[in-house]
Amino acid sequence: MKRTFLLCTILLFCFSSEIFAADGFGRCATGGAGGSIVTVSTAADLKRYVEPNDSRYIVQVTGTLDLGSIGGGVAIRSHKTIKGISPGTTIIGRLGFRDDANNVIIERLNITNPKYNEKDGISVKERVKNVFITHCTVYDCCDGMIDITGASDYVTVSWCKFYYTNAHDHRFVDLIGASDSDTGDAGKLQITMHHNWWSTLCKERMPRVRFGKVHIYNNYYDSSGNNYCVGVGNDCNILLEGNYFNSISNAWKNYSTSPEHQGKIHWQSTGNIFYNCSTPSWAPDSVVFTPPYTYTRESGYNVPARVMSGAGADGNDLEFPSSPTNLSASAGYAIVKLDWNNNSDSDLVGYNVYRSTTSGSGYSKLNSSLLSDSNYIDSNVPHDTTFYYVVTAQDTSSNNSGYSNEVFGGLYGDFTGNGIVEMNDFVDFLDFWLLNDCNQTADADIDENCIINFQEFAVMAENWLK
């Protein structure tokens, strides 16, 4: 019994302390970071901390909260994080937002709303912005599961699972843009949806889009018996990448009302997989927007296993940290010094450095243990070889990022950094010649005698035009 209690305590601590880094269009959301941390177990306490003002709170929810006693829902104000602290944490009712709310994170919650207050699960509307919804299970809502409307903007929905347990008529999951007449939505509704799972009995709107720019990548669709998945509505731009459609009807469908307002979708050559289903007969491929953020698109073939393991309130943490940026190299004799920007991922634990003699492939890891600092010195570099370097980041769940930008170094005499020792390097070499200054000659001083002379010239000559 004691061992079981201890194990449960450890698991609960790990779950409640888990923090996911916002990404996509909702990447600027920080929620209640820096504010007070409170734990609530009643609907009244939830309302107390998320509604009255814009103070920063991280609201940890435990147990099952039926919001019927407070009118069926809450209206979340700015600068809040609402997170479950165990896999079974459940909210029955609607999570809504105060008009013009900003900077909200919702994570690790089971949410259902079969009867209260518009019957949505999460309703993001009326100029709400900077919202990050991740690792939630939303089920059996009698209207939308997650609807984003009313000129709301900069929202990411990731690693969420949607399903129904009964086949009622209105199984319309995610609406982006409420009406063709809501022209104020134009230029808003910039939404990212990635690694979500539309599952049992989902019928339509996965999502259904009007006006917005919506990036839909690496999602899993296995809602057999549906009508359609992605709805292409008036004046929208949809980028569809690396998704896996399994035994569904109509991966997308046109809902635009006229040629003048025809929505656009880009889906060709973007890695979407169609298993036991076909490409829709209405399938024009259009030029759409380029996402203004970095992201890692996985192979569509990997999506089912990854998403089924990671999506939902009880999903594993399978999110990759962001790739390190701005890697640079400076070479001395037999060493290469590397430096890169610090990652901002909140669950980062360190970095790994790799090198290869071939650009773009064949990398081998150099460090034996994770690096805590964003710099590294490779001190095992033959003076006649060019090496190519990349760096990755690792998080607390041992997920590794993609590679950083590649840099090279190691070939003595390549002072201009173009991978070959040539006349321009010789001109730079002459600037070092016979200088008797340890600081100025450090990057070119082979024998570390603080002067550049024929010892260095001989090595440079050996590498000439390599």
Least confident of 12-21, 164-173, 261-270, 433-442: 12-21
pLDDT in tens, 353-406: 999 989 888 999 999 999 999 999 998 887 667 889 999 999 887 888 889 999
Please work out, in degrees rounded to the nearest 5, the angle formed at the alpha carbon of residue 198 by the alpha carbons of 192 and 201: 150
Helix (H, G, I), strand (E, B) or coil at 15: helix
Residue 11 has pLDDT above 50, yes or no: no
Q: Which residue has the tokens 């920063």?
A: 56
Helix (H, G, I), strand (E, B) or coil at 193: strand
Tokens of 246: 């399994």
Instruction: Please give the CATH number for the structural domain made up of 329-411.
Output: 2.60.40.10
Helix (H, G, I), strand (E, B) or coil at 192: strand
Share of the chain above pLDDT 90, in %: 70
C-alpha–C-alpha distance, residues 118 and 175, integer Å: 14
pLDDT in tens, 77-95: 999 999 999 999 999 999 9
Confidence of residue 419 (pLDDT cuts 50, 70, 90): low
- At 353, give phi and psi (nearest 5°): -115, 135
- The neighbour count for residue 13, using CB atoms within 10 Å, is 11
Domain range 18-310, CATH architecture: 3 Solenoid (2.160)
Cα dihedral: 452, 453, 458, 459 (round 10): -10
Which has the closest alpha carbon to 264: 236, 289, 240, 230? 236
Least confident of 60-69, 111-120, 143-152: 111-120
Sheet with 197-198, edge to edge strand ranges: 64-66, 90-92, 110-112, 137-139, 161-163, 197-198, 220-221, 244-246, 273-275
Looking at residue 124, its pLDDT comes to 98
C-alpha–C-alpha distance, residues 389 and 404, integer Å: 9
Residue 71 has pLDDT above 70, yes or no: yes
Q: Residue 174 gets which letter from DSSP?
A: -
Looking at residue 3, its pLDDT comes to 36
Whether residue 292 is preceded by a cis peptide bond, meaning omega within 30 degrees of 0, is no
C-alpha–C-alpha distance, residues 16 and 307, integer Å: 21
Residue 303 has pLDDT above 60, yes or no: yes
If 0-12 CB within 10 Å is exposed, 13-18 middle and 19+ buried, where does residue 434 land? exposed
Residue 341 has pLDDT above 70, yes or no: yes
Average pLDDT over all residues of the chain? 89
Least confident of 75-79, 219-223, 280-284, 383-387: 383-387
C-alpha–C-alpha distance, residues 95 and 465, integer Å: 66
Cβ neighbors of 67 (< 8 A, separation 6 or more) are 43, 46, 73, 74, 91, 92, 93, 94, 116, 117
Q: Is 27 a catalytic residue?
A: no
HSE at residue 449, side-chain half, CA atoms within 13 A, is: 9
Residue 13 has pLDDT above 60, yes or no: no
Q: Are 145 and 164 in contact (CB under 8 A)?
A: no
Q: Tell me yes or no: is domain 412-466 CATH 1.10.1330.10.
A: yes
Confidence of residue 18 (pLDDT cuts 50, 70, 90): low
Ranges of each domain in the chain:
18-310, 329-411, 412-466
Tokens of 375: 């710099």
Of the candidates 205, 208, 306, 355, the residue annotated as catalytic is 205
Q: What is the pTM of this model?
A: 0.76
Give the residue-averaged pLDDT of 98-110: 98
In angstroms, how far apart are the furthest CA atoms of the chain?
86
Tokens of 39: 């734990």
Which is it for strands 137-139 and 57-61: parallel, antiparallel or unpaired?
unpaired
Give the residue-averaged pLDDT of 127-134: 98
Q: DSSP H helical segments within 250-397, as ranges?
A: 303-310
